[in-house]
């Protein structure tokens, strides 16, 4: 375990797969005790926990649909009882329901907004109570390049991610004086289950638009999250850090 994180509790929403999994592992490696939240994939979440424990870390898996207020309350209660108050929150859980706007149903819109944006509101609010008491906290939300420059077929997703940015900047202003920083990481394309459906042609087109010429890895996103969670990042708040290989340049 490295020094510096003082065994703080970090909660990663959607920590069972993809980017969240890499973030949970990376934060545990930096000495945090981990709450690995998941929606339905208990096996995957337990695997992340087992991997962390094998390396001498401490972690628990907690199921909760973070778009639901009561489930978020239960998530933070359980985290507090079993590990202690959450000092680092990573709002990572996210979904897509891509369709051109004229074919997008209100249900597709609501589902994406609730899972990506409302969850960020619910979890940040729940985490802030303990952070205010501790006079220290880190809130890191995972947006997307789609929230910065838009993407055809992703009006719901782009709106949710742009919403996370406005939300984070506002909360950063509310809690800055209390030792709590609130930042956003905006990844470009990363190979996970979320992008697995992209057909080869679409992948080629995407890669052609990335300055670095390739998709990112979950670990490359996790490294930036770990920095923002650290003491070293104490003077950064309300920022959006693009980790996209130059896609949005």
Q: Which residues bind ligand NAP (CB under 6 A)?
A: 13-14, 16-20, 37-41, 44, 65-67, 92-95, 115-116, 142, 144, 187, 189-190, 192-195
Nearer to ligand NAP (CB atom), residue 193 or residue 232: 193
Question: How near is the Cβ of 231 to ligand NAP at its closest, in Å?
Answer: 25
Nearest Cα residue to 237 out of 142, 167, 139: 139
Nearer to ligand NAP (CB atom), residue 141 or residue 230: 141
| Burial of 41 (C-beta count, 10 Å sphere; 0-12/13-18/19+) | middle
38 is annotated as an active-site residue: no
Nearer to ligand NAP (CB atom), residue 192 or residue 237: 192
Question: How near is the Cβ of 178 to ligand NAP at its closest, in Å?
Answer: 26
Question: How near is the Cβ of 126 to ligand NAP at its closest, in Å?
Answer: 13
The active-site residue, picked from 76, 157, 189, 215, is 157
Nearer to ligand NAP (CB atom), residue 136 or residue 241: 241
Is the separation of the CB atoms in 105 and 149 below 8 Å? no
Residue whose entry in the numeric block shows the structure tokens 């992703």: 154
CB burial string 167-206: b at 16+ within 10 A, e below? bbbebbeebeeeebbbbbbbbbbbebebeeeeeeeeeeeb
Question: How near is the Cβ of 218 to ligand NAP at its closest, in Å?
Answer: 7
Nearer to ligand NAP (CB atom), residue 136 or residue 159: 159
Is the separation of the CB atoms in 60 and 88 below 8 Å? no
User: Catalytic site residues?
Assistant: 157
């Amino acid at each position: 375990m490295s020094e510096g994180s003082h065994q703080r509790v970090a909660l990663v929403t959607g920590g069972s797969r993809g980017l969240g999994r890499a973030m949970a592992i990376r934060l545990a490696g930096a000495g945090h005790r981990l709450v690995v939240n998941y929606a339905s994939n208990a096996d995957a979440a337990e695997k992340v926990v087992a991997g962390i424990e094998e390396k001498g870390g401490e972690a628990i898996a907690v199921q909760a649909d973070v778009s639901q207020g009561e489930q978020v309350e239960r998530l933070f209660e359980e985290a507090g009882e079993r590990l202690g108050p959450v000092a680092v929150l990573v709002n990572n859980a996210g979904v897509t329901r891509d369709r051109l706007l004229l074919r997008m149903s209100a249900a597709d819109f609501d589902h994406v907004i609730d899972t990506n944006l409302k969850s960020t509101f619910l979890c940040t609010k729940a985490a802030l109570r303990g952070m205010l008491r501790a006079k220290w906290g880190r809130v890191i939300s995972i947006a997307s390049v789609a929230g910065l420059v838009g993407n055809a077929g992703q009006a719901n997703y782009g709106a949710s991610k742009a919403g996370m940015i406005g939300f984070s900047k506002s909360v950063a202003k509310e809690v800055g004086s209390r030792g709590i920083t609130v930042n956003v990481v905006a990844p470009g394309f990363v190979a996970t289950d979320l992008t697995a459906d992209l057909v080869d042609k679409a992948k080629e087109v995407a890669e052609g638009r990335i300055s670095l010429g390739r998709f990112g890895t979950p670990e490359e996103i996790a490294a930036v999250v770990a920095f923002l969670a650290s003491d070293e990042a104490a003077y950064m708040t309300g920022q959006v850090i693009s980790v996209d290989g130059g896609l949005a340049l």
